Amino acid sequence: MKSLYMVSGSLAETQSLGEKIGRNLCLKIVIGLSGELGSGKTSFVQGLAKGLDIPDKYYVTSPTYSLIHEYPGRIPLFHIDLYRIRLRDEIEGTGLYEILDRFGIFAIEWPDFVINDLNVDSLSIHFEIIDDDKRKITITAHGERAAELIKKL
Ligand SMILES: Nc1ncnc2c1ncn2[C@@H]1O[C@H](COP(=O)(O)OP(=O)(O)OP(=O)(O)O)[C@@H](O)[C@H]1O
Ligand SMILES: [Mg+2]
C-alpha cells in the first residue's frame, strides 16, 4: 500500500489532478472517493473525464439520484454515487455489480459498501476541507498497477 497527500488550492487544481490521473489510465481501475459533502469528489471526476477524453458536451454532475452515470471516452467512465444507499442489500437489483464486471474506470463516491469486494486495483482518494478553497487530498494505491500510477503524480 502506497500513499501520498497534497493540498489543492482551488477547484481548478482539483480538476487538474483528476485530469492528470485520467491521462495515465489505460487499465480497469476503481477509484474510491471519500470525504464530506462539498469536499471535491465530483469536481475531481470532472477532471478525470477530461483526462479520459470524454467530450465536453457531457457535463459531469453528481449521480446522487441515478446512482450511475456512464460517459464514453478513451475508456468508458462510470461515475457512481452511493450516498443514498443505507444498506448493502439495497445495491442488489440496481445493476451495479453487473456494471462493475465491465471494462472501464469506476469512480465511486461514498464507496464503503463495495470497495472491499472488488477484485481490481484501486486508488482510494480522501478529501478533507481545510478552508473555503483548500482541500487536503490523500491518495492511497492498492495493488501494483495502482502504485505505478501514483508514482507519476
Ligand atoms: N480546492 C478545491 N477543490 C475542489 N472543490 C473546491 C475547492 N475549493 C472550493 N471548492 C468548491 O467545493 C465544492 C466541491 O463540490 P463537489 O460537488 O465536488 O463536492 P463532493 O465532494 O462531490 O460533494 P457531495 O458529497 O455532495 O457529492 C464546489 O462548489 C467547489 O467549487
Ligand atoms: Mg459529489
Q: What is the largest CA-CA distance in the chain?
A: 40
Choose one of 5, 43, 132 to mutate for the ligand 1 pocket test, by most ligand atoms within 8 angstroms of C-beta: 43
Within the chain, where are the H helices?
11-23, 41-51, 96-100, 144-151
9 CA closest ligand 1 atom index: 1
Q: How many domains does the chain have?
A: 1
Residue 22: strand, helix, or coil: helix
Q: Is the CB of 6 under 6 A from ligand 1?
A: no
- Say how many Å lie between the CA of residue 83 and the centre of ligand 2: 9
- Say how many Å lie between the CA of residue 25 and the centre of ligand 1: 23
What is the Cα–Cα distance from 137 to 92, expressed in whole angstroms? 31
Question: How many other CB atoms are found less than 10 A from the CB of residue 110?
Answer: 19
Q: Nearest CA to 37 among 81, 72, 71, 73? A: 81
> Domain range for residue 72?
2-152
Tell me the CATH number at 85.
Answer: 3.40.50.300
Residue 136's pLDDT band (boundaries 50, 70, 90)? very high
With the CA atoms of 32, 93, 38 and 11 taken in that order, what torsion angle do they form, in degrees rounded to the nearest 10?
60
110 CA closest ligand 1 atom index: 25
pLDDT at 137: 98
pLDDT at 98: 93
Cell matching residue 49: 473525464
